Chain A
């Protein structure tokens, strides 16, 4: 592991990263491998020594009671935690043979490769079109035709095209909650990610919108690696291939979803699944 790491070390670094970005090894079955990862908020340790491998082009769910560190863990995959004052981490998170916790990692490249969708839909207070085109535009694409193509592709992929293609210039805030969330997914798709993180994407949505989003996630998993943090274990059971159960910052159990829900190895997991706490 160490040697390959060294060979490919510069992949995310500003210079060579970008050249290699889209030539990643398709035979690799592991999208993210986490080794002994711990995260501290000044004093408080929110993630404790977690080790796991996340498979490629599958849905991996992180479940656990609220406050157990799911979001913190998830935000570490694209270093969104760096925006917080007073944090510290240790261990490794390896994506594409690169330890992304390395301080020299270029965050811009990392974040366009590992996209994120938040709990609350956060459309920018601009038009639908501009929301989607935002990512490509900051990357320097100015050609309107190309942008239109990207917008169309992303909206189609997020299953929103039919609903909004007539009103791309409307304010994004006029969409319903579920549509806004799909808009955010489309926005993330427009920057060409390989991994998409979802932090409780359905927590603020109604049941119907939730099922639409869940279908979308299943569809996206054909092409993308999806990691979803959710406190709803039913959602995890419905859509995920792998499930990780976290409790008080520790990874209690990580296995195939069927295994976790039908025959958990740990007593704590069983208690949580059967609803005896949390």
Chain B
């Protein structure tokens, strides 16, 4: 090629060409090449490590809580046996199912099952050995040692069989070989269990402890009465009423935004509703403590029941506040869902003569039933784990003397108990373990609710699918019992399968359904849609229908304006109260005179700096990890991959861990175990955990928005994978990723429960900075709001105005970051045209 080129061109040109050729061929060789290759592969490893460690966080948190809670939950041995029995029942069920279903399962599948079973049993055995050894070291019980020996021998036997099975992949394993092996496995496990159970029987009485924890009604840590039932019920009351209140508001605003608001107003409405979610919960707690509670009190006074409810700090106050805070979540999910309804569907409904409202009620909402119900369930989980509001306004009375479902009484909620009692507990006290038990319970409930909600949202769990599964199981059993021919069974199964696939196919979440090409453009459809709307409105609709529609529209508008009005009032009160009382002298940390200290006058600036320090530490650790996880999951381990999906879920599960549980974890690990005390590092690491899921998912979202063409083009030019990602996807997604950072910081800077537990304390030193990274508590804005907001002015004059000023500063920072992020995204986004 080069020779032909040279002969053709002039001599100077050809010289230049020669030098170019040399240059390019030189530069593909040499150190750059190896540097690039090594960088590419090492970055992959680093990303993988960060991602996996992030995804294991939830498991680590729950395991830690479980271990710390064990001492109050009965004997360790019982729990391990309990776990093993569950696994045993599951495995033997699968084993029996597989082995006696020659006709249904292929030889290969049965072989695989038996292998997996053996692996599970093996792991079980290792677990058993470890627990028994722990038991032996603590009790020096000779029986444990004997059982360890026996278990190890059994394990060894299984291991040999397992190795044999793995090796004989190519060998044909026939029925004769498989069956004895299966029975042997089951026999081994059974004998271990019988042995274990005999050993554990003397400790069975400790199970009453867990019964007491779950259902006991008295919570009195000082007397070691740990009955958490009323705490659980308290949380349930608050959450239940909050959901009842939020449903009409959230749904109406969602419908209003999706269907009735003109396009030009839509954006503003949406972002102002979303502002609510950016208000730190401690500020909402303060506002509701100062105003809502008093309002409710005076309402009761007006109603003449003043003696009964002389204090406004009741479950209902908390419910109303939490409902307000959850409105944006439900509203925007509903809005998104309604906007996803295909235009054709709405048009055809309109063409049948339905009114606009009827289209919404009969078509759009049923179409999105699963997304809307999952939004409500997810909101339930969120409210259940929310700490600050129940801590500040729901009272602290675990008695529930006015009935188990009465919202007109003070309650003591699970998260509030954790946040409140951690401060004066002794390490390894029974109360310490009881608090971890509370954390575990809270975590389990939130987790189950979130998983449920997510499954419903993804269409994996619907009412019909549950019904179908049930029916299928019943019909299968029936077929078995009545000994029908196998063909018949197959037929009915096939039939079910056909119906099932059809169902999947027609499901709105189905990919095919969504990506079906629509020939007219979006805009065209839009105008057509509205024309049809107008047309039906004027000619076909009866007056009655129009009136009905007007009433609904009116209600939606009203509810939207109520929420916006409350939002305005919150801003107004924080702004006015915060600004009016600002004392610019307090910005400077004052001299440590006692009277000033009592009033908390050590400078707003100190608290602001403290907040920034802790959140900055969190960001410094959390942002790289979660960005790495986002990159790794987008480009290296695609979510189409099973493992990738699992890791992604693992990271997103952290988001369902209530903040107070994260705080509890941080308190146990960083503050106590690591001995860092309340400090910048403890707080930073704790808040980091909260940042990871937010930033990971925003990063994934941002990276997916960049068309893959650029990366492909770059790969075709011979870049390494990492270069193509760095130069293109990362660069173009950069503004969105930064927006994700800002959002997460804005979320985390207002987090109060975790920092009460791990970082903040009233610190009366007249300096800007804490004295060290560890063992030096920090003054922080959310803590000041919580701490000083609850005092009456009689005890500490000006404490309320102090809290309000801190609230103002915090609100400005949080909202500022939030709004700045939004602006940045819309301004800086690279346009791909």
Contact = CB atoms under 8 A, between A and B. Distances in A.
A17 B33 CA distance: 12
Of the listed residues B29, B37, B718, the one surrounded by the most CB atoms of chain A closer than 10 A to its CB is: B718
Given A191-B24, A222-B4, A111 B33 contact: no
A135 B720 CA distance: 11
A138 B716 CA distance: 13
Contacts of B547: none
A173 interface: yes
Given A14-B37, A122-B710, A125-B732, A224 B1 contact: yes
B24 A136 contact: yes
Interface stretch (A62-70, A139-147, A235-243, A247-255): A139-147
A149 B16 contact: yes
A122 B727 contact: no
Contacts of A194: 1
Interface stretch (B248-256, B342-350, B825-833): B825-833
A21 B28 contact: yes
A83 B715 contact: yes
Interface string B185-221: 0000000000000000000000000000000000000
B714 interface: yes
Given A26-B3, A83-B712, A108 B720 contact: yes
Nearest to B34: A14
A223 interface: yes
A141 B830 contact: no
Contacts of B2: 22
Contacts of A244: none
Contacts of A18: 28-29, 33
Interface string B1-27: 111110000000000110111011101
Contacts of B732: 125
A71 interface: no
B269 to A, nearest CB: 32
A201 to B, nearest CB: 13
B5 A21 contact: no
Contacts of A149: 16, 19-20
B717 A112 contact: yes
Contacts of A19: 29
B653 to A, nearest CB: 24
A250 B581 CA distance: 82
A153 B717 contact: no
Contact of B17 (A111, A120, A153): A153
Interface in A183-218: 184, 187-188, 191-192, 194
A80 interface: yes
Contacts of A184: 713
Contacts of A21: 25, 28-29
Nearest to A125: B830
A150 interface: yes
B717 A141 contact: no
B832 to A, nearest CB: 6
Q: Chain A interface residue count: which class? A: 35 or more
A73 interface: no
Contacts, number: 119
Given A108-B37, A134-B714, A140-B32, A124 B728 contact: yes
Of the listed residues A22, A26, A108, A115, the one surrounded by the most CB atoms of chain B closer than 10 A to its CB is: A108
A140 B718 CA distance: 12
Contacts of B715: 80, 83, 111
Contacts of B34: 14
Interface in B97-143: none
A18 B717 CA distance: 16
A18 B29 CA distance: 6
A80 B716 contact: yes
Contacts of A26: 3
A192 B19 CA distance: 13
A163 B3 CA distance: 28
B640 interface: yes
A71 to B, nearest CB: 12
A116 interface: yes
Contact of A108 (B17, B29, B30, B719): B719
Contact of B831 (A83, A125, A153): A125
A78 interface: yes
A7 interface: no
Contact of A138 (B641, B710, B719): B719
A187 B717 contact: yes
B592 to A, nearest CB: 57
A272 interface: no
Given A111-B716, A122-B709, A140 B27 contact: yes
A184 B716 CA distance: 11
A85 interface: yes
A135 B28 contact: no
B24 A192 contact: yes
A150 B36 contact: no
A146 B5 contact: no
A116 B715 CA distance: 10
Nearest to B644: A85
B638 interface: yes
Interface in B73-119: none
B744 to A, nearest CB: 26
Interface of A: 14, 18-19, 21-22, 26, 57, 78, 80, 83, 85, 106, 108-112, 115-116, 118, 120, 122, 124-125, 134-136, 138-141, 146, 149-150, 153, 173, 184, 187-188, 191-192, 194, 222-224
9 closest Cβ contacts across the A-B interface? A112-B718, A140-B32, A116-B716, A18-B29, A122-B709, A122-B713, A111-B718, A135-B717, A192-B24
Interface of B: 1-5, 16-17, 19-21, 23-25, 27-30, 32-34, 36-37, 638, 640-641, 709-710, 712-720, 723, 727-728, 732, 830-833
Given A118-B709, A125-B832, A134-B717, 5 more contacts: A80-B715, A122-B710, A135-B718, A173-B832, A223-B1
